[in-house]
Amino acid sequence: MRVVSLLPSATETIAELGLLDALVGISEDCNWPPEVRGKPLVARTLIDVSEASSAEVDAAVREAAADGRSLYAVDAELMATLRPDLVVTQDLCAVCAVSSGDLATACPVEAEVLSLSPRSLGEVAESVVALADRLGVRARGVAVAEAMRARIDAVRAAVAGRDRPRVFVAEWIDPPYCAGHWVPEMVEAAGGTGLLGRPGGRSFATTWEAVLAAAPELVVVAACGLGLAQALERAGALRLPVRTVVVDGDAHFSCPAPRLADGVEQLAHLLHPGAVADPGLPFAELPVAAAPPAA
């Protein structure tokens, strides 16, 4: 089978299933595992975020959405040349990855389109099995999904009965976006009390004033689509009067794939270091600002 993945989580899952040789094309956002580099790029982002500030990126995305413009360009000619049997996409978020609507004039008629749009940790595991089933390796998919669930369940057991610190996870920095979908579940599984986020719901813009009014004990900056170094470039000047940690949101929080279990373990270690071992994932702590004087 010849597969084009326009979805980073699907690319990651295909690798977990041991089927990278079947992958003939990817989107520009597909960067894990490193072995996918060099695969033909079928889709590219239309917004250059390399030099833009967080606020500028947010403004560009909002403008494109208001105008009904896609954030991605799909190479129809290359798609036809690659002759995929299966094209994997999503309809969860037009910002995060190519959606099925972007394929209207760029997908070979003979190719099947599989849309994966999980909104919870359980649905992420189910999407792994669904993709594996379509690729003819259902048993492998079940094993990967069960391993992901088992790791998260082990964390839940390790933090059971402990105090649950108040946690805000920022999916973006300027403006801050409250992380939604599966991230509130990740906080709960890690032994925290999530603030502002809606399990299964979309992320939404808020303000740092509103975040601080919710009295977080930990702020986690897990910027969607950004690795640790990129997130630090945008959040390095952020100074909050509360412990603030920047993590690799792209790898372990915003991509609905098996590595979400890594993110749960990292969160649990940050919240309960005596109960959950350090998984060794990169993060950086920002300086804590002095609290304003009492009125």
Q: Give the helix/strand (H/E) hosting 64.
A: helix 54-67
Q: Distance between terminal CA atoms of the chain?
A: 67
Alpha-carbon distance of 171 to 194, in angstroms, equals 13
Q: What is the pTM of this model?
A: 0.88
The total domain count for the chain is 2
Residue 226 is assigned to a structural domain of this protein: yes
Two tokens at 267? 């969160």
Domain holding 40: CATH number? 3.40.50
Q: Residues 36, 101: one domain?
A: yes
Contact 138, 129 (CB under 8 A): yes
Out of 87, 117, 147, a domain closes at 117
Is there a single domain that holds both residue 173 and residue 276?
yes
d(Cα 227, Cα 90) in Å, to the nearest integer?
21
- Tell me which of 117, 137, 172 is where a domain ends: 117
Q: In which domain, by residue range, is 188 found?
A: 161-286
Same domain, yes or no, for 108 and 165? no
Would residue 128 count as lying in a domain?
Answer: no
Residues 105, 21: contact at Cβ < 8 Å?
Answer: no
* Residue 122 covered by a domain: no
Q: Are 169 and 277 in the same domain?
A: yes
Write the CB contacts of 229 (distance below 8 Å, at least 6 apart in sequence). none
**Structural domain contains residue 134:** no
Instruction: Spell out the per-residue pLDDT of the chain, length 295, in tens.
Output: 899 999 999 999 999 999 999 999 999 889 999 999 899 999 887 666 556 566 666 565 566 555 555 567 788 889 889 999 999 987 655 444 454 555 544 555 578 889 898 999 999 999 999 999 999 999 999 999 999 999 999 999 999 999 999 999 999 998 999 999 999 999 999 999 999 988 888 899 999 999 999 999 999 999 988 999 999 988 878 999 999 999 999 999 999 999 999 999 999 999 999 999 999 999 999 999 876 544 4
Residue 94 inside a domain? The answer is yes
User: b/e map of 139-168 (b: 16 or more CB within 10 Å)?
Assistant: ebbebbbeebbebbeebeebbeeeebbbbb
Question: Could you tell me if residue 140 is inside a domain?
Answer: no
The domain that holds 170 is classified in CATH as 3.40.50.1980
